[in-house]
Amino acid sequence: MSDVGALAALKWVELRNRAGLFARQSRFKIVVVAVFSAAFWVTLFQLFYSGMSFLQKTALQYNFTGLIGAMFYIFFFALTVMLTFSNAIIGYSSYFKSKETGFLLASPVRAESVFLYKFVESLGFSSWAFVFLGTPLMAAYGKIFDVPWHFYPSSVVFLGAFMFVPASLGAMVAMIVTVYMPRTRRGLVVGAVFAAILAILIGVSRLMIVHGSQSVDLKLVSEVFETTRFSRNPLLPSFWLSKGILELAERRYTSSMFFLGLIASNVAFLVCVAHAMSAHMMLRGWHVSQGLRSQRRYSGRGGVDRFVSGLLFFVDRNVRLIVAKDLKGFFRDPVQWSQFLIFFGLLAIYFLNLRTFAYEDRDIFWKNLIAQMNLLATSLTLATFASRFIYPQLSLEGKRFWVIGMAPMDREKILFGKLALSFTCSLLISETLIALSSIMLKTPPTLAILHSVALFGICLGLSGLAVGLGAIYPNFQEDNPSKIVSGFGGTLNLVMSLIFVLVVLAAQAVPCFYYFGRWALSGDQFRWIIVCSMSGIAVISLIACLVPMSMGLRAIRRLEI
């Protein structure tokens, strides 16, 4: 048996054992994961379908097909860029930071075979959400345009084949950066890379200027097509995917199969290139990532310690030291902080460019609608942030947790320290973003204050959920945050966080739409409803924080070390 076959058999046995272990777990866990996954998929489908139906019923109906096509091009272009970054980040951790990789490279297995083994693994972790997001979009599109039944399985084939393109590109980026840009020049390299990313994002946002003074007519549609023209470049892989699916829906099967073949041939080419690169870079990159050490000398009390001391002045000093350790670990891991910058950097750039869309000159109803959507985007990003970075913090202590457990302090204080760090950091980031949105939109002060209060409750609830559930479902055997988050506890935390965010935003948004919308509601009635709404948000946020925290405290007290 070849080494690739041996590794494939190993992974098959591992997956079979994991499936058997999952089947032997509590039926409650299985039902929860299945029900919430199905509910999330149905919600996405309903959102896509409602959005397309809204566009179909407006004055844009006469060019509806072309508009949806333009949305497909820009949607898949953005997903391709994000997937490439995601695969590069997760691939770096999988190829060069995993203990399993070191074990396999020390065994009589070729480096390129180890690469293929880890490539498939990182592909699954980084790209499953792409298919999960793409299938409800395809279902909504098919229902709107009444496509034949074979469109649905064929579109899944398109999505499944395409996700190998950004995965291969991301793998090549990870290997090149690791080998030729080691950590001795990390500051310069990271600064240059993110300056280039920032310049590209700003340039793209400038290209997408649609002036709000125009009416919804042919001129506006023409400008939308013109400003998104870059995403229809026939050399882009996202164009092949979008065009192939659109041709399939219009029953042009020959053209659709041509684009599927184009995707498949480029997948084969890119995977072969990445495989050939791994023969020379995999082992070298491993040595570089493991052997280099920074020449910087760290003082006893650095900038992170001073920042934490000032930010968490209300927390016990010993707990602040442990929290500072978590923050240092975060900044020293490019896999984590690069994802953080992508999460919130895109939002910040979007908010800074709101004036280019002239939303501030819109009617108060539309201004309120845009402000609510910005609040939703910020809150959902916060939910993702809490699930991705806060939830695995306790598990990342690993087998070293006994050191903290034996420290002369209560374990409860450690958990509250992580809660305080999560709450204060998320509050600072989210309030800054929503204040930026309010300034750019020139939203009324009342609406801006309501959004700030709602975000305060959301930050508290999300932090309590992430820290509490992280203590209830710890995984000290895994050192990869992506794998920790992919477990039952991480899935439950993400689902509960999304439900919590939607409930809070619904409680805040309904009275705002009545007051700033087109319904008669006096100022006194609005103030009374807002008081009730804010009281409800406070109660919901406290429940979302205190219930999982109390359960987490109970679990961490019983934890044997």
Residue 258 exposed, middle or buried by CB count within 10 Å (0-12, 13-18, 19+): middle
Residues 262 and 344 occupy one common structural domain: no
Residue 6 in domain: yes
User: Which is it for the CA torsion 58, 62, 65, 68, positive or negative?
Assistant: negative
For residue 301, tell me if it sits in a domain. Answer: no
- Domain termination site, one of 249, 276, 291: 291
Domain boundary among 271, 291, 311: 291
Are both 287 and 357 inside the same structural domain?
no
Whether 432 and 345 have beta carbons less than 8 Å apart is answered as no
The answer to whether position 184 is within a domain reads: yes
pLDDT at residue 461, rounded to an integer: 92
- pLDDT tens figures, 410-437: 777 778 888 888 888 888 888 888 888 8
pLDDT at 168: 92
Confidence of residue 213 (pLDDT cuts 50, 70, 90): very low
**Looking at residues 468-495, what average pLDDT do you find?**
80
Looking at the chain, the whole-number percentage of residues with pLDDT higher than 90 is 10
Residue 297 lies in a domain: no
| Residue 306 within any structural domain of the chain | no
Q: Which range is most confident: 80-94, 353-367, 462-476?
A: 462-476
Q: Are residues 334 and 286 in the same domain?
A: no
Q: How far apart are CA 259 and CA 244, in angstroms?
A: 5
pTM, two decimal places: 0.69
Domain-located, residue 299: no
Provide CB contacts within 8 A for 146, sequence distance 6+: none
Q: 298 pLDDT exceeds 60?
A: no
Q: Could you tell me if 388 and 436 lie in one domain?
A: yes
Domain presence at residue 300: no
Task: Quickly tell me which residue has 């050939």 as its tokens.
Answer: 276
Based on the fold, state whether residues 287 and 327 are members of the same structural domain. no
pLDDT in tens, 440-454: 778 778 788 888 888
Q: What is the pLDDT of residue 265?
A: 94
Instruction: Kindly state whether residue 296 falls inside one of the protein's structural domains.
Output: no
**Residue pair 367/437 in contact by the 8 Å Cβ criterion:** no
Crossing angle between the packed helical segments 411-441 and 523-558, to the nearest 10 degrees: 150
What average pLDDT does range 109-135 have in this prediction?
84
Q: Are residues 22 and 159 in the same domain?
A: yes
Do 225 and 179 have their domain in common? Answer: yes
Same domain, 7 and 71: yes
**Can you tell me the mean pLDDT for 324-329?**
72
The count of domains in the chain is 2
Domain boundary among 238, 267, 291: 291
Residues 352 and 271 in one domain: no
Give tens-digit pLDDT for 348-385. 666 665 555 555 555 666 777 788 888 888 888 888 88
Q: Point out the least confidently predicted range of 14-18, 61-65, 471-475, 497-501.
A: 61-65
139 plus 194 within the same structural domain: yes
User: What is the CA 397 to chain-centroid distance, rounded?
Assistant: 23
> Quick one: 264 and 403 in the same domain?
no
Q: What is the per-residue pLDDT for 561?
A: 59
Residue 542's pLDDT band (boundaries 50, 70, 90)?
Answer: very high
Residue 152 has pLDDT above 70, yes or no: yes
Domain of 9 in residue numbering reads as 1-291
Cβ distance 242 to 72 under 8 Å? Answer: yes
Segment 174-199 shows an average pLDDT of: 62
> What whole-number distance in Å separates Cα of residue 16 and Cα of residue 120?
16
Over residues 23-53, the pLDDT tens digits come to 776 676 677 778 877 888 888 888 888 878 8
Shared domain for 126 and 248, answered yes or no, is yes
Q: CA of 408: how far to CAs of 325, 397, 411, 416, in Å? A: 17, 17, 9, 16
Measured distance CA(426)–CA(67) in Å, rounded: 36
